[in-house]
């Protein structure tokens, strides 16, 4: 028991540290995941295949695994969401190897199979909306959540280009200095801010779905199991009373 309590204390003490590290200096923006919104998942899947799947693979997921939740047919998926030459049972891989990715970007693009489960929807949403112009970086952009990120801003044509916003703060010694406070639009993209925001939300929604394609089905099965256990417990209780009524009296 003492070991368990000590472990719980350690985990609890690490939560604020991990949360602070995830924010990268700015507050994360909230993102609500809705896996029942098939229209959102379809739009997110389209953005994922057009803008993410060229560099980022999802090797732990097959096309057919994400098919049920999208509410489309296998033919529609092949025609609109799959790379040429791929089969419905194939994994979501890319032609670029880890070695090539490291040579071109300095680090191999991470696999996105479980990115939402690792990072969280709020982090992903804030990250994808926090790229800003930075001439000192090789790609010309930086990120408010992930400083010195190697990834270019692949959505800039849709979202537009952004510039950093700084605020002046005082440190413990009373000295003032500027820190990054957020980003704002510098050059408009093809989408309005509302359309761009919805696009990113749809993409994150799909990434959350792709991380656990059978989550909704699992929840439904879990509810039926719990209901069955409740009914079994009630039946067992009355059966016990029936068997033991003569002994008890």
The domain ranges of the chain are: 17-129+195-233
Question: How is 144-202 classified by DSSP, letter by letter?
Answer: SSSTT--S--TTHHHHEEEEEEEEEEE-TTS-EEEEEEEEEEEEE-SS-HHHHHHHHHH
pLDDT at residue number 141: 96
Q: What is the pLDDT of residue 170?
A: 84
pLDDT of residue 240: 79
Rg of the chain, C-alpha, whole Å: 24
Residue (of 47, 44, 15) closest to 31 by Cα position: 44
Domain 17-129+195-233 has CATH 1.20.810.10: no
Written as six digits, the tokens of 176 are 């003032």
Low-confidence residues in the chain, pLDDT < 70: 1-25, 214-221, 248-249
Are 180 and 26 in contact, with CB atoms under 8 Å apart? yes
Cα separation, 129 vs 191, whole angstroms = 13
What span, in angstroms and rounded, lies between the C-alpha atoms of 45 and 95? 19
Report how far residue 80's alpha carbon sits from residue 46's, in angstroms, rounded to the nearest whole number.
8
Q: Extract the tokens encoding 1.
A: 């028991």
User: Is pTM, for the whole model, over 0.95?
Assistant: no
φ, ψ (nearest 5 deg) of residue 223: -65, -40
Quote the pLDDT of residue 246.
72
Report pLDDT digits (tens) over 37-73: 999 999 999 999 999 998 999 999 999 999 988 989 9
Provide the b/e sequence for 154-171 (b: ≥16 CB within 10 Å).
Answer: bbbeebbbbebeeeeeee
Q: What is the pLDDT of residue 221?
A: 65
User: What CA–CA distance (Å, rounded) separates 232 from 236?
Assistant: 6
- Taken as a whole, the chain contains a residue count of 249
Beta-sheet strands, E only, within 8-122: 58-62, 91-92
pLDDT at 218: 61
| pLDDT value for 6 | 39
Mark residue 24 as left, alpha or beta (left: phi above 0; alpha: psi -120 to 50; beta: remaining): left
How confident is the model at residue 248, as a pLDDT?
A: 58
Among the listed residues 66, 148, 76, the one whose alpha carbon sits nearest the alpha carbon of residue 113: 66
Query: Terminal CA-to-CA distance of the chain, rounded, Å?
Result: 40
């Amino acid at each position: 028991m003492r070991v368990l309590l000590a472990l719980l204390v350690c985990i609890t003490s690490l939560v604020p540290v991990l949360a602070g590290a995830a924010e990268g200096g700015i507050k994360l923006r909230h993102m609500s995941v809705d896996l029942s919104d098939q229209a959102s998942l379809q739009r997110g899947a389209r953005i994922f295949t057009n803008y993410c799947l060229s560099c980022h693979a999802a090797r732990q997921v097959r096309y057919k695994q994400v098919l049920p939740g999208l509410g489309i047919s296998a033919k529609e998926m092949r025609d609109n969401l799959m790379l040429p030459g791929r089969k419905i049972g194939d994994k979501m891989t890319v032609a670029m190897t880890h070695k090539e990715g490291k040579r071109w970007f300095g680090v191999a693009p991470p696999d996105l199979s479980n990115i939402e489960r690792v990072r969280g929807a709020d982090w992903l949403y804030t990250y994808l909306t926090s790229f800003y112009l930075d001439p000192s970086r090789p790609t010309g952009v930086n990120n408010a959540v992930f400083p010195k990120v190697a990834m270019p801003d692949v959505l800039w044509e849709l979202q537009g280009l952004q510039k950093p916003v700084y605020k002046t703060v005082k440190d413990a010694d009373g000295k003032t200095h500027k820190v990054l406070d957020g980003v704002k639009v510098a050059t408009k993209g093809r989408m309005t801010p509302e359309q761009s925001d919805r696009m990113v939300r749809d993409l994150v929604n799909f990434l959350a779905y792709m991380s656990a394609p059978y989550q909704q089905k699992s929840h439904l099965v879990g509810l039926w199991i719990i209901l069955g256990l409740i009914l079994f417990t009630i039946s067992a209780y009355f059966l016990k009373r029936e068997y033991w009524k003569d002994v008890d009296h």
